[in-house]
Chain A
């Protein structure tokens, strides 16, 4: 099929998705979209336009190439891991671990993030404001040495030789880069991976049907939970807001994308707000004291599938997450990480703590479950192409 270059943006009907169009009283049913048979490169109709970098126009062929690379263990030095090893589709592209494990056995400090609508993120990874594009971020797991993840440092030539030796890649690279006589290059690998990630659209959760007019898509409990979520008692939406339930929004219409980072009082090891020295968040990158313990608020879409939670997987369940926020910060009573998070002077002002009845707690969790998009995690066009 011919590639369709989309140039600057993929169209969406709803303009800036920050405006939530809640259901009118029409009560129509919005059908679950059937699973796609062809890789979709346009976002769901109610999403804002996707930002596409000028040097990596989005085509189906590039995304399909990227999909193959994503699932290919050739992308690790010792050929034991692919991106998908830590990013499994069934878990919304996370891995169920508190801390990720690399191809040479090195344990990461942090948890593999779910990959959900990453094309709409102004910054990637837990706490690194420099990771401003998918193309740039891909280099970290591929070539990083501390820790070793995919372990390809110094092996880019061997990687390309491996790809050249597999006939399907000749076809895929030529289809993706028809004008390049020698298309198998590292630059094309990272751009194809980024293109695949850009089409990891998750916008078919019950919540999405609800906002598009299907009042029946959310249970009463989930609707109550939604009101709590978007209310001023819990304040969840301040960081986990908008259509993407995050706050580092990038669209084709955000000329100055912001990537905020927040300290939620998860740790307070010295009484002055310090996080454990093994992981102090954004401060490690920016060297600014005020960035101590600050992390990006990840999307809550599919959150039901992506336990355990927080940057180090230190909170195992959604119930315990609610405990953390209800307390206004976590208390760790003993051990080297002991501290009272709610007393952290560095804690974000929008984590004050709140009261929550057991019934309300259930409602909030029901609402969070309504963000699970089965179509996304079962979408065969996003699955492993090497498995029949």
Chain B
């Protein structure tokens, strides 16, 4: 039985201050207390349990004024990572179109879909990377399973017809008591889950639109849209390729899992920003290389993938050692 997320409406266009409840100590920044309250301008998150009001993200027993919480053991503390998608200076919305994108700023992008999986989220406590344990609370369960979370920015409006109104811009979980600065995560489904049977998988791994069945895996990143030159659709599907099945064990030569490191990220005050204009900035969005997938579907020989993979820090034959990814940054 498919989980139905509760009707959380999180318009991604709104600037939502990332609020994370951390034991307040270690902070000589008085604004850190503000990090524990939602922005007054943002509508309260109506879905997730226990987080609808200021300080509600704080784990029971912890308060904003807790003392030096980086000393000594305490219970796990709640973390909410907020993701925003922008297109350059503009917030992303299915109801909008975005001129001046792509190679030479020559294209106008009309969104059809924008979703991606993240996994392996860690926060740096000064001594190393600490894995974030994702919440399995009822309001989180449709979007998070084990180490994997789905972010969903298509709300079914405009030309985003494949999706539905439900969106998800946060990842919720816990880390041990402490103070943290620095975030890492992987864009993708871990190898151990990537070839599993989606029809019996737990949400969010049971969504057929994220299946990549021909490759026996999932689309890690799905960014679909149209441009004037590609009215039939331009599909950016990133997933593992070069997979072979040897007696029931599948291995893939091209993992294609973008690694994101944001060393200064403070979960109390920062948000993760994904800039679509950066992802597609180097791509010719008006033409498709002949005899290749419409857009980039991670084919190694597809020249349309080169600029997109570069933005994700993923290797291609043309550029086997790209610079670190630039799609994600922090604010």
A136-B213, A143-B213 known; A182-B242 Cβ under 8 A? no
- A146, B235: Cβ atoms under 8 Å? yes
- A130, B211: Cβ atoms under 8 Å? no
Per a CB cutoff under 8 Å, which of B162, B199, B250 touches A154?
A: B162
Chain B residues contacting A132 (CB-CB under 8 Å) are 245, 248
Q: Does B228 contact A (CB under 8 A)?
A: no
Interface size class of B (residues with CB under 8 A): 35 or more
- A130, B294: Cβ atoms under 8 Å? no
B244 to chain A: closest residue by CB: A286
Chain B residues contacting A190 (CB-CB under 8 Å) are 199
In the bound complex, what is the Cα–Cα distance between A144 and B301 (angstroms)? 21
A130-B250, A139-B199, A146-B293 known; A153-B244 Cβ under 8 A? no
B247 to chain A: closest residue by CB: A256
Q: Does B241 contact A (CB under 8 A)?
A: yes
Per-residue CB contact flags for chain B residues 77-121 toward chain A (1 = under 8 Å, else 0) read 000000000000000000000000000000000000000000000
Interface of A (DSSP majority class) = loop
Q: Does A33 contact B (CB under 8 A)?
A: no
- B294, A146: Cβ atoms under 8 Å? yes
Chain-B contact segment, one of A14-22, A67-75, A95-103, A277-285? A277-285
A139 to chain B: closest residue by CB: B213
Q: Does B215 contact A (CB under 8 A)?
A: yes
Per a CB cutoff under 8 Å, which of A130, A144, A145, A187 touches B199?
A: A187
A130-B244, A144-B214, A187-B199 known; A287-B208 Cβ under 8 A? no
In the bound complex, what is the Cα–Cα distance between A189 and B198 (angstroms)? 13
Task: State the interface size on chain A (CB cutoff 8 A).
Answer: 35
Chain B residues contacting A285 (CB-CB under 8 Å) are 215, 241-244
Per-residue CB contact flags for chain A residues 132-166 toward chain B (1 = under 8 Å, else 0) read 10011001101111100000111111000000000
In the bound complex, what is the Cα–Cα distance between A170 and B4 (angstroms)? 22
- B300, A287: Cβ atoms under 8 Å? yes
- A157-200: which residues lie under 8 A (CB-CB) from chain B? 157, 182, 185-187, 189-190
A144-B213, A153-B209 known; A129-B1 Cβ under 8 A? no
- B160-200: which residues lie under 8 A (CB-CB) from chain A? 162-163, 195, 197-200
In the bound complex, what is the Cα–Cα distance between A129 and B214 (angstroms)? 10
Per-residue CB contact flags for chain A residues 115-140 toward chain B (1 = under 8 Å, else 0) read 00000000000001111100110011
Chain B residues contacting A155 (CB-CB under 8 Å) are 208
Interface of B (DSSP majority class) = loop
Q: Does B2 contact A (CB under 8 A)?
A: yes
- B291, A143: Cβ atoms under 8 Å? no
Chain B residues contacting A153 (CB-CB under 8 Å) are 162, 208-209, 211
In the bound complex, what is the Cα–Cα distance between A230 and B253 (angstroms)? 38
User: Residue among B195, B214, B235 with the most chain A CB within 10 A?
Assistant: B214
- B211, A139: Cβ atoms under 8 Å? yes
In the bound complex, what is the Cα–Cα distance between A278 and B1 (angstroms)? 39
B1 to chain A: closest residue by CB: A182
In the bound complex, what is the Cα–Cα distance between A157 and B208 (angstroms)? 10
- A186, B208: Cβ atoms under 8 Å? yes
A153-B162, A185-B1, A285-B243 known; A143-B254 Cβ under 8 A? no
**4 tightest A-B CB contacts, nearest first:** A287-B242, A154-B209, A130-B216, A139-B213
| 17 extra A-B contacts, CB within 8 A, seeds A143-B209, A146-B294 | A129-B245, A131-B216, A135-B197, A139-B199, A140-B214, A143-B208, A144-B213, A146-B214, A154-B207, A156-B208, A187-B200, A276-B291, A277-B290, A285-B215, A285-B243, A286-B244, A287-B254
